[in-house]
Amino acid sequence: MRLNHFLICIVSSIPLIACAQTNTVLKGQENFIGQWQAPHSKIEIGHDGNLQYKASYQQEQKTANTFQQSSSQSNISAPITQIDTQHIQVGTGMFSTQFNVNKAPYLQNGQWHMTIDNENYLKK
């Protein structure tokens, strides 16, 4: 009877252990994991290897007789297929996109920074 309880505990803990581990695509790039904030966008990279990107931009253009205002939003939620200190590739096939890593995550004065697509991000 004790053996049954022991086996049940072992078998039920395997999924929990598997969920807690970092996705293999992120091995060696763990500094990227977390929530990153920039003035107009945010990136969240999870231990599971998924990336969420949200951006919102507004632009105003004034001339002597006209005023134009436009805005755009981008939302991406996709698995990371490749990540290194130069690029982050997400999605597959025609539903893929690439982010350029200008500066990989680095620690400065106790705060993590990185630059992606020429935008500076701080880790929350």
CA–CA dist 32, 85 (Å, integer):
9
User: What is the separation of C-alpha 74 from the centre of its chain, rounded to a whole number of angstroms?
Assistant: 14
Angstrom distance (rounded) from CA 53 to CA 121: 12
Q: Which two tokens stand for residue 116?
A: 């992606």
Complete domains list, the chain, with CATH: 24-123 (2.40.128)
- Tell me the pLDDT band of 13, cut-offs 50, 70 and 90: very low
Query: What's the pTM value of the predicted model, to 2 decimals?
Result: 0.75
Under the banding of pLDDT at 50, 70 and 90, the label for residue 65 is confident
pLDDT of 6 above 50: no
pLDDT at 61 exceeding the cut of 90 = no
pLDDT over 70 for what percent of the chain? 83
Phi, psi dihedrals of residue 14, rounded to the nearest 5°: -60, -50
More confident residue, 8 or 78: 78
User: What average pLDDT does the chain have?
Assistant: 87
H or E stretch at 20: helix 2-20
83 by Cβ neighbours in 10 Å (0-12 / 13-18 / 19+) ranks as buried
Specify the DSSP element, H or E, that contains 70: strand 67-83
Greater confidence (67 vs 88) lies with 88
